[in-house]
Structure 1
Amino acid sequence: MVSVDFRTRPTGEADLTDLATFRETRLPALLDRHGHEAGRAAGRLGLHPLTLRVGDELLTLVPGGDRIAARTVESDTLVVDLDARTFADLVQDVVSTFGAQMTGRAEIARGTVAAFVEWEPVLRCLIDGRPVYEPGSIDFRDRAGRPLDPAGSFTLADDPADIGHFLAEVGYLHLRNVFTEPEMAQVSAELDAAIAEATRDDGASWWARTEPGGWYPARILGFNHKSPALRELLTDSRFRALATFTDDDWIQGDPDLDDCAEGLLKKVGVVEGASDVSWHKDCTMGGHSHHCAGLVVGISVTSAGRETGELGVVPGSHRANIATLGIEGLDLPRLALPTNAGDLTVHCSCTLHMSRPPVTGERRVVYTGLRLAGGDEPAPDRAEVRRRRAALNDRVIERRTTDRRDRVRLGSHDL
């Protein structure tokens, strides 16, 4: 059996490490230990110097040759303002560069959002010692060491050891015929009812806009509370088999108590709001070393193909310290995962993935998942989870309507 537990830090709230203390006491040892590897990666990626500014304190990281140097002089290319809490969270991988900027905790005083986000894998290399991915360094092998086809799929009748090895090797699964079409039809009917009840200010739904149809609830948070059929499936032995594929201890949210599933309706022609998202990791907002890899499970309520919003994945990307958004310059393959109603997709939270916008018919899918056991961070209550999720949706809509010249490039939906 195998593991997909990549955690290197304890969960829980990070210490309040101020910039000056970090710069003077912790950074010199990190530069000695990881500065060469991080500097080589910064050179390969063509990064410019980065200044992190907290009040009057500065830390400027300057790539040069095969090293990174630390300065207290402001960069003339990229300057980012943070408060003390955000700086501490950034260096302790509670929040990422993208997450800090996306949630309004980081302000770009000079330079671009994209330039700041591109520093993410190099910061993790320097601080956490995770080597930045180098082209050609990942391949795929089966349990006997032979080349492995990342386009494989399984049923629950297959050997769990083969399924788990595939998951660990490529970062995702396609499980066929897990649930029946009548079961999916019942979940779909209950999703219709939940959508009909949703309002823009309920704090329990995300909204998207089509032309000329207008705004509609694209995502129902806590959908398990509105769908008896889904709750039954989430406690079924077929779903619980997912926890047997690796040696890891998995925790599933309680379908009766927790917000542990979301129902998505992806319509044709969405022009605004959070619907289809291009290439990203689910740890894009931060916390990889605290939480990854969780398993994100997509239950295909309707079939999904090239014209109806199928999922796309980048095999092996869960094993690579790379930018958590976009696929520009990445040599790993891209693969579509078409599904039929009742199929499941499972991907590690740090696997690059996307979904195509539907063009001929809508897609319905339920997303749920499993998290690794052993963390010491208490789970927030349902109201707090929904508040955070609603705030993120509002931020997505806000960011998508800002000046395109300062927008992070998420890559395309192309496979």
Structure 2
Amino acid sequence: MPIALDRRTRRDADLRHVDIEDFLAADFPGLVARHGRLVARGIASLQAPPLSIEIGASSWSFSSDGTTLTASRGTVGGALVVTLSEAEFSDWAQNQRSFNAMLTARELRYRDGSEVDVSVWDSLWLTLLEGWPVVDDTIEFVDRHGTPLDLGRVFTPADDPADVAHFLREAGYLHLRGWLDPADMTEVSSDIDRALPHYREGDGRSWWATLEDGSRRCVRLQEFIAHSPATSAILRGERWEHLRGVLAGGDLLERRPVDGRGLEALIKPVGVTVGASDVSFHRDCHFGRHAYNCSNLVAGIAVTGSGETNGQLRVIVGSHRVLMPVEIAKSRPYLPVVAVPTEPGDVTVHLTCTLHESTPPLVEERRVLYTGFSLAPRTDDADANGENTSNSGGHALAALRERISQILLDEATRS
């Protein structure tokens, strides 16, 4: 049976304030009946401690009895203890914000546990809410005919579109070649050089990093499309539209808007010491809202080539199917890790649920454009007044991302 690309199970129109007592009485029993065994299996496999949640003067604990997840009043021994406000618990209980988001925004208060424990419980909680397993010993990666996938395969326009779409859903990523003209990348790179003088620190549309020699470099150019006729022609062209149709398979996909911040140009310089340039393993939905937005597709256009010497994309195969905690992915991943070296004009695609990272350049910088494709809004994503709400919660998450970006930028500036 094909793996579903559309994993949306929640709607912003259904958001409400969730009190922990009401959650435990009304929602928890049904969730445990459906997903409690998966959570217990994850707790055992990852040797996770119990979780105790403090809200005001009260506390509640979650742990495994060996077969399922249980809840009790009070704080239990050996537990990771997390202190939340009522609003924070409501967000967490509805997959609006994760512990990871709160931690990165410097808002999470916890004790008697490690950052790994926090990451593990983010995954276990999402398993409870959505039934996405933390471990799956039966997982396989096979093509449409049942043959094991070649995880290093590069797809061209001559390949069967059904094979391309299947690989993406099976493995969580793609490496594409021949869909764009490599010669166009020289002009795109020149556009980046011409655009750089139009960006400055603090302009709200660029990210900067400190290099080993103390200099500051612009590493992310938002709204780049306004400076690059070559990029505009690519994303408005027939080849890009053809690619959208191939990736969609049986799903409805929309191109990201070409204007505004639907595309970013990234420069990956050698020797970054401070700043968000090369990011270790993460999911694009790890701040929250997986159940409202996933899976969208992130497309990287290789302006320069990539590899071990100048950095490259690496993905954890099947991590859109197995909810490996982010912090464990960084140190001891238990699914295959694949590097995706590229040539100029190559396109990489990964699902927003797929764990991926960018390795740092060692010898020379690389350049890449990032854009993507989004699932079409659902017909019933509407509130009582008939207004579409599919992006309303996303605005809050976007604001959170901006806050986190500002924290990272402030830290880089202080350093």
- Corresponding position of 2:223: 222
Of 331, 351, 356, the residue aligned with 2:354 is 351
How far did 1:350 drift? 1.0
Instruction: In structure 2, give the amino acid aligned to 1:395.
Output: I
- State the SS of the aligned residue for 2:320: helix
Q: Deviations over 1:86-130 (max 9, x none)?
A: 211211112222112212342224433321111122112222223
CA contact (8 A) 2:185 2:345 kept: yes
Alignment of 1:216-365 (within 5 A): 216-245=217-246, 246-256=249-259, 258-327=260-329, 328-365=331-368
- Corresponding position of 2:406: 394
Q: Deviations over 1:218-237 (max 9, x none)?
A: 11122223322211111111
Instruction: In structure 1, give the amino acid aligned to 2:367.
Output: R
- Corresponding position of 1:405: none
Q: Deviations over 1:357-412 (max 9, x none)?
A: 000100100000111112433547x999986554222334568999xxxxxxxxxx
- Distance in 1 (CA, whole Å) between partners of 2:301 and 2:407 is 27
- Distance in 1 (CA, whole Å) between partners of 2:63 and 2:321 is 27
How far did 1:131 drift? 2.7
- Corresponding position of 1:120: 122
| Overall identity of the aligned pairs, in % | 36
CA contact (8 A) 1:225 1:259 kept: no
CA contact (8 A) 1:203 1:390 kept: no
CA contact (8 A) 1:298 1:365 kept: yes
How far did 1:301 drift? 0.5
- Corresponding position of 1:86: 88
CA contact (8 A) 1:11 1:291 kept: no
- Distance in 2 (CA, whole Å) between partners of 1:373 and 1:399 is 37
Distance 1:222-1:52 versus aligned 2 partners, 3 A rule: farther
Distance 1:12-1:200 versus aligned 2 partners, 3 A rule: farther
How far did 1:26 drift? 2.1
CA contact (8 A) 1:206 1:390 kept: no
TM-score, normalised on structure 1? 0.89
- Distance in 2 (CA, whole Å) between partners of 1:31 and 1:171 is 28
Instruction: In structure 1, give the amino acid aligned to 2:81.
Output: V
Q: Unaligned 5+ residue runs, structure 1?
A: 403-415
- State the SS of the aligned residue for 1:317: coil
- State the SS of the aligned residue for 1:132: coil
CA contact (8 A) 1:206 1:217 kept: yes
How far did 1:62 drift? 2.1
- Distance in 2 (CA, whole Å) between partners of 1:13 and 1:326 is 32
- State the SS of the aligned residue for 2:299: strand
Distance 1:36-1:180 versus aligned 2 partners, 3 A rule: closer
Distance 1:398-1:79 versus aligned 2 partners, 3 A rule: farther
How far did 1:30 drift? 2.6
How far did 1:32 drift? 3.7
How far did 1:24 drift? 2.8
Instruction: In structure 2, give the amino acid aligned to 1:269.
Output: G
- Distance in 1 (CA, whole Å) between partners of 2:396 and 2:127 is 32
Q: Does 1:184 align with 2:185?
A: yes
- Which range is displaced more, 350-359 or 79-88? 79-88
Distance 1:173-1:306 versus aligned 2 partners, 3 A rule: same
Instruction: In structure 1, give the amino acid aligned to 2:251.
Output: D
CA contact (8 A) 1:225 1:255 kept: no
CA contact (8 A) 1:198 1:205 kept: yes
- Distance in 2 (CA, whole Å) between partners of 1:89 and 1:383 is 14
Q: Deviations over 1:51-76 (max 9, x none)?
A: 12222332211233223221221245
Instruction: In structure 1, give the amino acid aligned to 2:347.
Output: L
How far did 1:132 drift? 2.4
- Corresponding position of 2:384: none
- Distance in 1 (CA, whole Å) between partners of 2:179 and 2:243 is 11
Distance 1:326-1:218 versus aligned 2 partners, 3 A rule: farther
